[in-house]
Amino acid sequence: MSYSLPHMAIIECVPNVSEGRRPQIVETLLHAVRSVGGIRVLDASSDPAHNRSVITLAGDAAPLKAAVRALVGAAVEHIDLRTHTGEHPRLGAVDVVPFVPIDGVTMAQCVALAKDTAADVAARFHIPVFLYEEAASSSGRRNLEDIRRGEFEGLSARMDSPEWAPDFGPARPHPTAGAIVMGARMPLIAFNINLATNRLDVAKKIASAIRHSSGGFRFVKAMGIALDDRGIVQVSINLTNYEKTPMHRVFDAVRREAERYGVAVLESEIIGLTPQAALVSAAEHYLQLARFSSNQVLEKRLRE
């Protein structure tokens, strides 16, 4: 094995599957995953509008590989992309599988795990797998959006081009399960900032100011949306590397941009899970903490 992990490595794995409307099918997928020992199912949430479910797993490398294998097997059996509809773009029955280093494991080891798992499921289920983010085989394949452009419906035509040969598996899409995008990335933080206004143009301008694609922070994706039921707007943010683009820097930038329009920040929210380090980093910044080490966190010391 190319990834020899230390004792007690913790890796997160967050498969996104193209089923969010039939609870019994989601349960079947979860049952397949749970039947593998040595992993934890931390979360599973389905979005009927997106017709998509996000499953959060944690464990060491070998059991996670087995869990992904079991999940792909069940998804290939029960999900048919030919009849799948939903608001969220998707390429396959198991659409995206990122491995995320949490504790006692390096990014390089997660990349190795992603490649090993990709080779395994591609061969076993005859499904093409594209590697993305830190595991990508070229810079043009780092971004999920680039790989997924045209979605399942456009995949066959796209794979006619040698440029879109998969990293593993057959050169044609799986007839019902499409393809899988697999890789390794930093923990993603879904961090939304709500503004005390109903002016959608302000949220959109701020999102444009802070996101990487339009000149903002390197590890920020953002869009402005209306929360109609509350009569306010939101800058909806994905932080793709909280170490290099920390929450406090993004929060302060949003607050300053909002001030320029005479708008106040109402509140922020973290959707789902966040690594402890992202919050400790914010405390360190605002409290101007010097010489602080995470070893000073009591719970961390007790875990060791």
Looking at the annotation, which residues are catalytic? Answer: 88
Cβ-based nearer residue to its own copies, 141 or 249: 249
45 binds its own copies (CB under 8 A): no
Residues of span 183-222 touching its own copies by CB under 8 A: 187, 194
CB of 136 to its own copies, least distance (A): 25
280 binds its own copies (CB under 8 A): yes
CB of 126 to its own copies, least distance (A): 35
In angstroms, the CA 135 to CA 131 distance is 6
What SS3 class is residue 180?
A: strand
**Residues contacting its own copies: total by CB under 8 A:** 44
Binding window for its own copies (CB under 8 A); candidates: 90-98, 147-155, 232-240, 270-278 = 270-278
Using CB under 8 A, pick the residue from 5, 36, 57, 58 that binds its own copies.
58
Cβ-based nearer residue to its own copies, 229 or 299: 299
7 binds its own copies (CB under 8 A): no
Contact 224, 205 (CB under 8 A): yes
Using CB under 8 A, pick the residue from 3, 5, 12, 147 that binds its own copies.
12
286 binds its own copies (CB under 8 A): yes
In angstroms, the CA 153 to CA 76 distance is 17
Main-chain phi, psi angles of 172, to 5 degrees? -120, 155
Cβ-count burial of 254 within 10 angstroms (0-12 exposed, 13-18 middle, 19+ buried)?
buried
In angstroms, the CA 98 to CA 131 distance is 10
Parallel, antiparallel, or unpaired: how do β-strands 232-239 and 189-195 relate?
antiparallel
Helix spans in 17-162 (H): 23-34, 61-78, 107-125, 144-148, 151-158
Contact residues: its own copies, CB under 8 A: 10, 12, 40, 42, 58, 102-103, 187, 194, 247-248, 251, 265-270, 272-276, 279-280, 282-292, 296-303
